[in-house]
Structure 1
């Protein structure tokens, strides 16, 4: 699995675990919901800034977003 797809899978799983909608997570991460949707589907390459914002919004270390374990 490539990193972009892995990131999307992990963001969605962590968002679901936190009980957040895409809209709520996007708001917390200061990004558009459509951008978050693209990230979760693996159709958009994330910026480093976006990774940091998502990690903070989800309350996880940024490395957790790319964990393949």
Structure 2
């Protein structure tokens, strides 16, 4: 799954560690999501969307689209 998490994190001047803390996950999880190695759960995707005040589909996109 493609995502804009790294870009959004940079725009908001957040480290991976700080974003992980805000999302209540590990830094390694944030890193894996940013690299496309791990797809977030639906609750985690909603949490990220709320944090950045965006819709889920504005952050995460299906690779086939």
Tell me the TM-score normalized by structure 2. Answer: 0.81
Q: What does the per-residue CA deviation read over 1:5-58, in whole Å, with 9 as the maximum and x for residues that have no partner? A: x21xx0001111111111111111111111111000111121101101111222
Alignment coverage as a number of residue pairs: 61
Measured in 2, the distance between the counterparts of 1:12 and 1:42 equals: 11
Tell me the TM-score normalized by structure 1. Answer: 0.77
Picking from 29, 37, 41, the partner of 1:43 is 37
Picking from 54, 57, 66, the partner of 2:60 is 66
Measured in 1, the distance between the counterparts of 2:5 and 2:49 equals: 9
Report which stretch shifted further, 52-61 or 32-41: 52-61
Question: Which consecutive unaligned segments of at least 5 residues does structure 1 have?
Answer: none
Question: Where does 1:17-56 land on structure 2 (aligned, <5 Å)?
Answer: 17-56=11-50
Query: Once superposed, which parts of structure 1, at least 4 consecutive aligned residues long, lie more than 3 Å away?
Result: none
Question: Which consecutive unaligned segments of at least 5 residues does structure 2 have?
Answer: none
What's the C-alpha RMSD, in Å, of the aligned pairs?
A: 1.3
More strand per residue: 1 or 2? Answer: 2
